[in-house]
Amino acid sequence: MPGPSVGQLIEAARAVRLRARAQYSGFRVGAALETASGEVVTGCNIENASYGLTLCAERVALVKALSEGQDRFTRIVVAADADTPTSPCGPCRQLLWEYCGDIEVVLVNLERETARYRLSELFPVPFDGRQLK
Ligand code: THU
């Protein structure tokens, strides 16, 4: 079965963005993570009154996918309503690197694609398990 097109991933990221719990920042983000087998796992940001417990959309998608047994990934699309690219924060880059490796990261807003990277461009000198051996 062929995997989703980038257009379908973008649609999924924009759709799940509408479920964001962004009552403090007002900044809603959606993410669609593509697995190597062609499935799509989505996530949105979930905020909390303590602020610091906020979960980013990328991390929600990643932990959902891992807990469902997925372990190989190819792309992530991140959607936000912003003219400039909304790219994953530092902690999300660290986690995506650990569990997804050098995936493609596609950034979109509500109208268009704003940027596209490999994760290694966004996170070029990682700390990872290789240092612990
Ligand atoms: N946020 C994400 O979900 N992903 C990003 O890539 C950037 C920021 C969320 C966290 C917080 O709920 C809101 O956007 C404002 O920072």
CA of 27 to the centre of ligand 1 (A): 7
Could you tell me the pTM of the whole model?
A: 0.97
Determine if ligand 1 sits within 6 Å of the CB of residue 44.
Answer: no
27 is written with which tokens? 């900044």
Tell me if residue 104 is catalytic. Answer: no
Q: Which of 123, 75, 86, 76 is nearest to 108 (CA)?
A: 86
Predicted pLDDT at 82? 98
Distance of alpha carbon 100 from alpha carbon 94, whole angstroms: 10
DSSP E strand stretches across the chain:
29-35, 40-44, 73-80, 104-108, 113-118
pLDDT band at 133 (very low <50, low <70, confident <90, very high): confident
Whether 1 has a pLDDT exceeding 70, the answer reads no
Predicted pLDDT at 65? 98
Q: What is the pLDDT averaged over residues 57-73?
A: 98
- Give backbone dihedrals phi and psi of 54, rounded to 5 degrees, phi first: -55, 140
Complete domains list, the chain, with CATH: 6-132 (3.40.140.10)
CA of 131 to the centre of ligand 1 (A): 29
The 10s digit of each residue's pLDDT in 46-64 is 999 999 999 999 999 999 9
String of b and e for 43-53 (b: at least 16 CB within 10 Å)?
bbbbbeeeeee
Tokens 């992530």 found at = 76
The 10s digit of each residue's pLDDT in 15-27 is 999 999 999 999 9
